[in-house]
Amino acid sequence: MRQLHLGAALLLGLGLMGCRSRRAEAPPPPPVSLTVVAVGDILMHQDVKRAAELDPNGFPSLWADLIPLFQGADLAFANLETPIAPQTGRPGVPFQFNAPETLPAALRASGFTVLATANNHAFDQGSKGVRETLERLRAERLVAIGSGEDRAQAERLQILEHQGIKVAFLGFTDLFNLDLNRRASEPWVRPLDLEPALLAVREARGQADLVVVSLHWGNEYQHTPTRRQKDIARALVEAGCDLILGHHPHVLQPVEVLESGGRRALVAYSLGNFISNQDRMYRADLFPVAGGDNRDGAALRVRFERRPGSDGRERVLLAEASAEPLWTENNWGAPATRREIRVIRVAAAEARVRVDLDQLSDAVEGPKLQPDAAQRRRAILDKQEYLRTLILRRKRVAEVVGETFVSR
């Protein structure tokens, strides 16, 4: 009996050792990560608002293609280049914006979490407009960075946390159409003064794992960042910034990686327009490629991971970054009863139109989809032209942003 007990114990011990061995061979858990998705300017041109009014689903219908991307991110960012002040402001006019009260809820439902409110249109509806905008964003639990109901609030560090990773957000504008910063006790929009900005980044570095800076800067309609932009970006990264999200030029500018102190930071000099009515007359078959630049955009996707740094200490570091081409479809001038403006993901649209072309061109499937041969030929030609436009815009985005960041 004793031998049996000993044998059983030996087998049990071997079994436990085997379990331990199998457990030891199990792969380590993936590192804790955080993903930020960022897009550029939300512009409230009259036709953009009209397109939302005419669609039963409102504003979300204008960027429905992007909603899964925003909702799938841990943090989703855009530059809100408009007040939302229907009560205290005037109706929007060209170059002086105002958005309807439905916009904040639409942005929140679409997956946005952080909005830059420091830009040259912040005071379009005066100081009262700044206050009303912030109240409406706060009611929808949207984080506004770069403006406040007073100076202290505008300069207050915003820290968001996800899976234990603390992310500090700062916002600045280098340009004002109307600068109403008067008293520190009144609504304030934070200007880009370099030394205070560097101090703010250093302070944020001591309180958070990641520091993200939103900058409204640069020259409109220029794809190349200025020397001043590059110098400021370098200084902010050396002060401790991990991610710079730039906007204002209404066209895309390059994305690049800067290194400082063993840390890699990402700089997007301009994310272009997200939604607008600019370049509405552009057609790829009639205009040079630059004629559509205001309708190009990019969804920047940046992933950070918590892992040991070069000094062995655990840090949250840049893991990967990519820029997905976007395109604003616009039916301006078409004989349509409804104004339509929407942002699409170019790669997905390319895939869809290729499938459509294959089906229409198929000897069996084509006549089923469109029995009339002349109309089928017309549909094929239209889709071929649409595909050419998508390919042209994708290549344009890659050329400007950088082939490294834009995948096929």
Is 408 a member of any domain? no
pLDDT of amino acid 334:
83
Q: Around 83, how many Cα atoms within 13 Å sit in the side-chain half-sphere?
A: 30
If asked whether residues 375 and 320 sit together in one domain, one would say: no
Is 255 a member of any domain? yes
Q: Model confidence at 8, in pLDDT bands (50, 70, 90)?
A: very low
Q: Model confidence at 309, in pLDDT bands (50, 70, 90)?
A: low
If asked whether residues 257 and 365 sit together in one domain, one would say: no
Q: Model confidence at 310, in pLDDT bands (50, 70, 90)?
A: low
If asked whether residues 56 and 94 sit together in one domain, one would say: yes
* Distance of alpha carbon 246 from the chain centroid: 10
Q: Which of 40, 22, 34 minimizes the C-alpha distance to 269?
A: 40
Is 369 a member of any domain? yes
Last residue of a domain, one of 330, 362, 380: 330
pLDDT of amino acid 24:
60
pLDDT of amino acid 12:
38
pLDDT of amino acid 23:
56
If asked whether residues 323 and 390 sit together in one domain, one would say: no
Predicted model pTM: 0.91
Is 28 a member of any domain? no
If asked whether residues 387 and 257 sit together in one domain, one would say: no
Q: Please give the average per-residue pLDDT across 165-180, as a whole number.
A: 97
Taking only the tens place, the pLDDT of each residue in 223-277 is: 999 999 999 999 999 999 999 999 999 999 999 999 998 899 999 999 999 999 9
182: pLDDT strictly greater than 60: yes
State the total domains in the chain: 2
Is 158 a member of any domain? yes
Q: Please give the average per-residue pLDDT across 33-38, as a whole number.
A: 97
Is 263 a member of any domain? yes
Q: Model confidence at 3, in pLDDT bands (50, 70, 90)?
A: very low
Quick check: helix, strand or coil at residue 267? strand
* Distance of alpha carbon 275 from the chain centroid: 11
Q: Model confidence at 93, in pLDDT bands (50, 70, 90)?
A: confident
If asked whether residues 321 and 353 sit together in one domain, one would say: no
Whichever domain contains 319, its CATH number is 3.60.21.10
Asked whether 346 and 393 are in contact (CB, 8 A), the reply is yes
If asked whether residues 291 and 205 sit together in one domain, one would say: yes
User: pLDDT exceeding 90 applies to what percent of the chain?
Assistant: 83
Q: Which of 198, 192, 236, 240 minimizes the C-alpha distance to 215?
A: 192
Taking only the tens place, the pLDDT of each residue in 317-345 is: 999 999 999 999 999 988 777 899 999 99
Taking only the tens place, the pLDDT of each residue in 116-142 is: 999 999 999 999 999 999 999 999 999
Is 370 a member of any domain? yes
Residue ranges of E strands in 8-89: 33-42, 75-80
If asked whether residues 185 and 216 sit together in one domain, one would say: yes
Q: Which of 301, 333, 296 minimizes the C-alpha distance to 320?
A: 301
| Rounded distance between C-alpha atoms, residue 176 and residue 62, angstroms | 28
| Rounded distance between C-alpha atoms, residue 4 and residue 79, angstroms | 75
Q: Around 116, how many Cα atoms within 13 Å sit in the side-chain half-sphere?
A: 32
| Rounded distance between C-alpha atoms, residue 364 and residue 386, angstroms | 23
| Rounded distance between C-alpha atoms, residue 391 and residue 406, angstroms | 13
211: pLDDT strictly greater than 60: yes
If asked whether residues 303 and 375 sit together in one domain, one would say: no
If asked whether residues 305 and 388 sit together in one domain, one would say: no
Last residue of a domain, one of 281, 301, 330: 330
Is 404 a member of any domain? no
Domain extent, residue 202, equals 33-330
Last residue of a domain, one of 277, 295, 330: 330
If asked whether residues 47 and 90 sit together in one domain, one would say: yes
Sign for the CA dihedral angle at 146, 259, 250, 407 comes to: negative
Exposure letters 183-196 (e unless 16+ CB within 10 A, then b): eeeebbbbbbeeee
If asked whether residues 253 and 387 sit together in one domain, one would say: no
